Amino acid sequence: MSSSLNRYQEWIEKEIKKQKYGKEPISLYEPIRYLMGLGGKRLRPMLTMLAYGLFKNDPRTIVNYAVAVEAFHNFTLMHDDIMDKAPLRRGKATVHKKWNVNTAILSGDVMLVKVYDMLLALDPSKLTKVLRAFNQCAAEVCEGQQWDMEFEKEKTVTEAQYINMIKLKTAVLLGFCLEFGGILANASDEDCRALRNFGINIGIGFQLKDDLLDAYADPKKFGKQVGGDIIANKKTFLLIKALEKVKGKQKTELDRWLAAKQFIKKEKVEAVRSLYNTLGIAFLTEKKVDHYFDKGFKNLEKVSCTEENKVNLKAFTESLIGRQS
């Protein structure tokens, strides 16, 4: 990571530590401090600052707004973890596991309220535009999460349906972060739109890569339960493509694992992953990741600033999915 990216990261961490969410009851506010303090890539506030830096050279002045986006992201994680019954987040116990479900719901609610509070400090000339874009994004994130849960009950989900779901659940927030940086820097509507589309496409690629890591990552590095999607029969891109391609005895075996109510988790993960290997699913997923990543960079080319100003943003987004330029 370049020195300026490291500097952005330091500013973001300092701002997160500075934030005050509330004092009492402690059990309401402590989970927020706990989750925000778990670290993570901080890619959403980084994208906001990097987008702003395409047009202005004082990104430190907007770090408080960048952190508002990180708070919103963590609010969604707190509630998503409840719905997914996830035991781990960034290698540590999830809020509903460490406290309880009711506390996690309420802490998430007050966290969202805090996000609006943070945005209220915006210049009045930008506030309406930002809130309109943010509210659309927030509603779409909820739509994506609902589709994700509904897909668990559906027998078949198409690739197009799945891509739309991850676009809403994950990618539109990355798009908003970049658009937000552009708005704060007084960029043109065309540039803000290109930045949003750039974020949406790299977001889809990033989620597809995350799906791949869920099945194949080193547990020590991943920070979440490896194979969680396989255990839960989640209709990820990997499973959708496997169901499209599988035939004969392998189809019988995959169907048996998908229908099983009682099983040893490790055994199921290894069996399904073995089927993925035979069907070449990892290669297909990597190809799709590259497709969306390339599409995103074509959007970035449309942004009217110097190539020199794009260096940090390009380097950061390439590092997200381990791509070498």
Per residue in 44-70, pLDDT (tens digit) is 999 999 999 999 999 999 999 999 999
Mean pLDDT, the chain, rounded, equals 92
Length of the chain: 325
- Residue 224: pLDDT band by 50, 70, 90 thresholds? low
Please name the residues in contact with 251: beta carbons below 8 A apart, sequence gap of 6 or more. Answer: none
Residue 222 scores a pLDDT above 70: no
Q: Which of 169, 180, 135 is nearest to 45 (CA)?
A: 180
Question: Tell me, what's the pLDDT at 221?
Answer: 65
- Per cent of the chain over pLDDT 90 is 80
- Residue 220: pLDDT band by 50, 70, 90 thresholds? low
Residue boundaries of the structural domains of the chain: 3-320
pTM: 0.90
Proportion of the chain in helix, strand, coil states, percent, rounded to 5: 75, 0, 20
Question: Tell me, what's the pLDDT at 319?
Answer: 84
Q: Which one is predicted more confidently, 169 or 2?
A: 169
**275-302 residue pLDDT tens:** 999 999 999 999 999 999 999 999 999 9
- Residue 325: pLDDT band by 50, 70, 90 thresholds? very low
**Average pLDDT in the 235-264 region?**
94
Euclidean distance between CA atoms 122 and 140, whole angstroms:
23
- Residue 114: pLDDT band by 50, 70, 90 thresholds? very high
Question: Tell me, what's the pLDDT at 324?
Answer: 40
CB 102 within 8 A of CB 240: no
Burial environment of residue 3 by CB neighbours within 10 A (0 to 12, 13 to 18, 19 or more): exposed
Burial environment of residue 200 by CB neighbours within 10 A (0 to 12, 13 to 18, 19 or more): buried
Q: Which of 21, 42, 45, 38 is nearest to 113 (CA)?
A: 21
Q: Tell which CATH classification among 3.40.630.10, 1.10.15.40, 3.40.718.10, 1.10.600.10 matches the domain 3-320.
A: 1.10.600.10
Torsion of CA 171, 176, 178, 179, to 10 degrees: 140
**134-176 residue pLDDT tens:** 999 999 999 999 998 899 888 899 999 999 999 999 999 999 9
Token pair, residue 72, equals 């919103």
**Average pLDDT in the 190-200 region?**
98
